Structure 1
Amino acid sequence: MIKIVAIGKVKEKAMNELIAEYQKRLKPISQVMLIELPNSKKQDSDIQGIIEDESDRILSKVSPQDYVILLDLKGKDLSSEKMSEHVMGVLDTSKPIAFIIGGSHGVSDEIRNRANYRWRISNLTFPHQLVRLMLYEQIYRIFMISKNHPYHK
């Protein structure tokens, strides 16, 4: 079981349609659950308060048994093949995986410390909605690589 815990909602219809396509492709392969949490209502001047508020809500959706993969610009940069090996290795132990996409201000040290793995999906900066789509695509690719499916080529 894989869950994606993310701050904010995807608002663009086209982006939602693309995400729905990957959800459809993943359905027969693995249960992937998306948990979207609202952005913090705190004032933009209280960045630390925003980070703590969003991080607390993220952590409330993470179970103690979850293997947490935090999408983090300071995380490890892996090829799709290496990430596939890593994720499939975790799934082989029957541990559920929780991917975390924090808000635009980042996440707390508590989340960084809770993370079992910190993954940099790219050196580039992307809008959070696009990162969500990219993560779905990479999860699908991870499974295709593990099955030696030609999708990956």
Structure 2
Amino acid sequence: MKITVVCVGKIKEKYLTAGIDEYSKRLSRYCRLEILQVADEKTPDRASEALEAQIRTVEGERILKCLRDDSYVIALAIDGDMPDSVALSQKLEKLGVQGCSHITFIIGGSLGLSDAVLKRADEKLSFSSLTFPHQLMRMILLEQIYRSFRIMNHEPYHK
């Protein structure tokens, strides 16, 4: 199975880079992982709703260019389904059994995802009703994908 993570912006914090690298390495025994970064747009303080929508649109166009037609797309969105780790693992396993060999997760920028990206997604996933920095979300997502593969393979993993 191939897992692609499409995300907005670069990681600047060393501790996040180290965590992302660690989970990427761990995942290499279960899947082919690809992380694609698209450029983020600068958002001025007190930006109008119209400007924020324009920024989401520009970032969304960059994201859409990274998506393949044959990939099952899961967008991270605060209003998405909120499964527990076992349910997420079962979802990924079910997709694999159904012949889906490529799953793409999308993490938006600080303003979220454009309507066009959300419409392209096959599913929306939420990790919490809390808001997390999108850079941190990348590491959290990789950890949960790793946990999913451990659960699928009946391997021990702390609860």
TM-score (norm 1): 0.94
CA contact under 8 A between 1:69 and 1:100: conserved in structure 2? yes
CA contact under 8 A between 1:71 and 1:120: conserved in structure 2? yes
Q: Which amino acid aligns with 1:112?
A: L
Q: Which among 97, 106, 110 is matched to residue 104 of structure 1? A: 110
- Aligned pair 1:88/2:93, yes or no? yes
Q: Which amino acid aligns with 1:89?
A: K
Distance in 2 of aligned mates of 1:94 and 1:52: 28
Q: Which residue of 2 aligns with 1:115?
A: 121
- Aligned pair 1:130/2:136, yes or no? yes
- Aligned pair 1:60/2:88, yes or no? no
CA RMSD in angstroms comes to: 1.4
| Total equivalences in the alignment | 153
Q: Which residue of 2 aligns with 1:17?
A: 18
Percent identity between the two aligned chains: 39
- The gaps in structure 1 that reach 5 residues or longer are none
* 2:130 alignment partner, SS class: coil
Distance in 2 of aligned mates of 1:142 and 1:151: 10
Q: Which amino acid aligns with 2:86?
A: E
- Aligned pair 1:35/2:36, yes or no? yes
Post-superposition shift, 1:91? Answer: 2.2
Q: Which moved more, 1:33-42 or 1:5-14?
A: 33-42
Q: Which moved more, 1:71-80 or 1:38-47?
A: 38-47
Q: Which residue of 1 aligns with 2:3?
A: 2
Runs of 4+ aligned structure 1 residues displaced above 6 Å come to none
Post-superposition shift, 1:42? Answer: 7.0
* 1:151 alignment partner, SS class: coil
Q: Which residue of 2 aligns with 1:70?
A: 75
* 1:48 alignment partner, SS class: helix
Cα deviation code 1:53-96 (max 9, x no counterpart): 00010000001111000000000110110011111111231331
- The gaps in structure 2 that reach 5 residues or longer are none
CA contact under 8 A between 2:85 and 2:144: conserved in structure 1? yes
